[in-house]
A and B are shown apart, each in its own frame.
Chain A
Amino acid sequence: MKRVLEANIGLVYLFLYVPILVVVVFSFNSGEQISVWEGFTFGWYAKLFEDAALWRACRNSLIVAGVATIIATIIGTTTALAIERYRFRFRTALTRCLYLPIIIPDIVLAIALLTFYVQTRIPVGLLSVIIAHCVFNIAYVTIVVRARLQGYDNTLEEAARDLGANEWQTFWRITFPLIAPGIIGGALLAFTLSIDDFVITFFTAGVGYTTLSVHIYSLLKFGITPKLNAISTMLLANSIVFILLFLRFQGRTTTSQKQEA
């Protein structure tokens, strides 16, 4: 029985990582074929630097993800504070509704926003994508910050208030530093999801406002070259940096909570 379980573990890891490794390995392939090995080269990476369309797409992705992350982090944090700190009448209903944008299929959300933009004559450009990304990012930030607020000690705030701090001072001196790792974790998650999103961007971005994901999609559809392997590898490296950062802050969350306990 144990053998079977161990074999399953190995198979699942192979299944998860072989495709990723294949892309990384073939990004160094000198041939024109995407999956037939011919020799080692850094050439495809060098070509990335000359690709103006790619850099424009990168810039658009960074603008969208940056602005959407800032907005979603602020709104998600205030929402998490309201849900965790206050008891009000529609609390459960509100909490459930907030998660709806991540429950419905993303193509439905994308189309809903597209028809809404057309009906309200909101122009489709980068702003329309930023608004759309905030819709799902707010929900994700709320989840991460709520998790941080749940394992946290209210007595510190009470102590601050007993010592004469007003509510504003209490928030910035006590509450904010304590939940900051959760907020940063939520922001990193939002940023990653925003950079990676394809479906919602695809429908809500106007012509000429290509983001990185949409650019990769058009490469995939209309001419796969080994350059795509190099772009993919760069993005994979980027994701790994972000996940390590996220875990650093989440790790701090768990250790500091243990210290508190």
Chain B
Amino acid sequence: MRRNYHLLILLFPVIFWFICFFLLPLISVLIYSFIERGTYGGVEWNFTLENYARFLGLEDPEQFDTLYLRILWRSVSTALVCTAACLFLGYPFAYYLARYKPKHRNILLLLVVVPFWTNFLIRTYAWILILRTEGILNSLLGAVFPNWGPLELLNTPLAVQIGLVYGYLPFMILPLYAALEQLDMSLLEAAQDLGASPRRAFWHVTVPLSLPGILAGSMLVFIPTVGAFLTPDILGGGKVSYIGNVIERQFKTARDWPFGSALSFMLMGIVLVGTVLYFRALQQSESEVT
């Protein structure tokens, strides 16, 4: 009885905070997404499905408008490319690091963690200095090739993609490293003793065993990038729209909160579906290994 009483005291603050400032706000967006926009930027308290219809392009029955679906697809595909690029760069990196001399390994790992602790805004801003027309990259290339015409890199989808990979690469490397570091090397030796080539051993032993790390890293990269607002805003210069920017505009400039709320809910839906798929895949990979 006394123990229950203690547990209640320990859990009360977090449950209070979670319900008041997480659950209720989510319900509040849900409500907003089903009401009408007012004439002067406020809201009218009438139930409507119009916000979702507009997102799906069904607002005008005569004409199917895919504008927002295309923007959503751009966000999802950019996030997928970003995840793949992080995996491609991060996997060999984590693989090598996990086998490095333990003495230097921690310093090398620390160097991956430092960007995680530094301001995201500043790390994104740094790419403006590099990519702009008078930036570092163009002046370097101009010095090497005398008749180099400056590349317009800033404010392009490529700049956004680079910024996203840069911003989230540590989130991929750390879980991959954690998975690869625990890998039992004797399993690889066994595979090779049994006649598997190093390549075969890698694909049939190392990769399946590090799958939990691959999945966790992919989740940690995909989720923030699909809803990214800052990177496209700064490096894309608002020229290319991503779902995060469209949501921001509904709240900051267009003042169409109900539509912005509906978009947020769709974004959250995608992320939650991704999370469920992740847990499924994780369970499957664990049951296959054991």
A-to-B contact residues, CB < 8 Å: 1, 4-6, 8-9, 11-13, 15-20, 22-23, 26, 33-36, 74-76, 78-79, 81-82, 86, 88, 94, 97-98, 100-101, 103-109, 111-116, 119, 131-132, 134-135, 138, 142, 167, 192, 195-196, 198-199, 203, 213, 216-217, 220, 224, 228-229, 232, 235-236, 239-240, 242-243, 246-247
6 cross-chain pairs, A with B, having the tightest CB-CB distances, nearest first = A105-B227, A19-B126, A112-B25, A116-B25, A82-B10, A116-B28
Which residues does chain A contribute within 8 Å of B28, judged by CB atoms? Answer: 112, 115-116, 119
A–B Cβ pairs within 8 angstroms, 17 of them: A12-B90, A20-B115, A22-B136, A23-B129, A34-B128, A75-B14, A78-B9, A101-B18, A105-B268, A107-B244, A115-B29, A116-B21, A167-B6, A192-B117, A217-B121, A229-B129, A243-B113
B118 touches A235 (CB 8 A): yes
Name the B residues within 8 Å of A216 (CB-CB).
119, 121-122, 125
Number of A-B contacts defined by CB within 8 Å: 215
B143 within 8 A of A: no
Interface size range of chain B in the complex? 35 or more
Which residues of chain B from 229 to 256 have any CB-CB distance to chain A below 8 Å in the complex?
A: 229-230, 234, 244, 247-248, 251
Q: Which residue of A lies closest to B123 (CB)?
A: A19
CB-CB under 8 A from B117, the residues of chain A are 192, 239-240, 242-243, 246
Instruction: Give the distance to chain A from B38, nearest Cβ to Cβ, in Å.
Output: 13
B129 contacts A26, C-beta separation under 8 Å: yes
**Pair B230/A198 contact, Cβ less than 8 Å:** yes
Does B226 reach chain A (CB closer than 8 Å)? Answer: yes
Residues from chain A with a CB closer than 8 A to the CB of B93 are 8-9, 12
B10 contacts A236, C-beta separation under 8 Å: no
> Which residue in A78, A135, A199 is a CB contact (below 8 Å) of B230?
A199
- Do the beta carbons of B129 and A134 come within 8 Å of each other? no
Q: Decide: A75 and B264 in contact? CB cutoff 8 A.
A: no
B257 within 8 A of A: yes
